[in-house]
Amino acid sequence: MSTEFPSKDGIIRQWHVIDAQEAILGKIASKAAMLLMGKTKPIYTPFLDTGDHVIVINADKVKVSGRKEEDKMYRHFTGYPGGLVEKSLKRVRAEKPVRLIEDAIFGMLPKTKLGKQMYRKLKVYAGDKHPHAAQKPSALAVR
């Protein structure tokens, strides 16, 4: 008996909408990462992208617990000497709230080419509108 692997035609991708309003950031990120990787499907294979598309709306209304609003720092390096830029979660939420969810989900995906391919199926919007109504996404509740 041999193991059967899903072919490109055998992978059916669905669209899911997650409403981030009043939901915890980590719970949204873990649920979205599982869907993007395809771990919720019986055809999951670690070295194939079998995941679904995920749309996250209301990214500006996501909640965090504890003192993360002031204490959590987002860092990136510009490439120049002394170019380490640090911003608090509160400042990032004010400037670009989409980045909070994108960074959390990206950190939970594999750090390979396959992980980047999975990440491309993620769409995050700050408001409650999205342009993917034609794909007929199904709503998911995150608790």
**10 in a domain, yes or no?**
no
Domain count, the chain: 1
Task: Report residue 71 as tokens.
Answer: 């204490």
Higher-confidence residue of 80 and 141: namely: 80
23, part of any domain: yes
Q: 48 lies in which domain range?
A: 15-64+93-140
Kindly report the CATH number assigned to the domain that includes residue 114: 3.90.1180.10
Residue 83 resides in a domain: no
**Mean pLDDT over residues 3-24, rounded?**
92
Residue 46 lies in a domain: yes
- Residue keyed to tokens 């390979």: 112
For the segment 58-103, what is each residue's pLDDT rounded down to a tens digit?
Answer: 999 999 999 999 999 999 999 999 999 999 999 999 999 999 999 9
Q: What is the mean pLDDT of residues 115-130?
A: 97
Backbone φ, ψ for residue 59 (5° rounding) = -65, -25
- Please state, rounded to an integer, the average pLDDT across all residues of the chain: 95
Q: Looking at residue 37, what is its pLDDT?
A: 97
109 inside domain:
yes
Please report the pLDDT score of residue 93 as a whole number. Answer: 95
Indicate the burial class of 10 (C-beta count within 10 angstroms; 0-12, 13-18, 19 or more). Answer: exposed
**pLDDT above 80: residue 1:** no
Kindly state whether residue 31 falls inside one of the protein's structural domains: yes
The pLDDT of residue 33 is 98
**Number of helices followed by number of strands (H, E) in the chain:** 5, 6
Q: Could you tell me if residue 45 is inside a domain? A: yes
pLDDT of residue 55 exceeding 90, the answer is yes
Decide if 77 is inside a domain: no
Structure confidence at residue 142 as a pLDDT band (50, 70, 90): confident
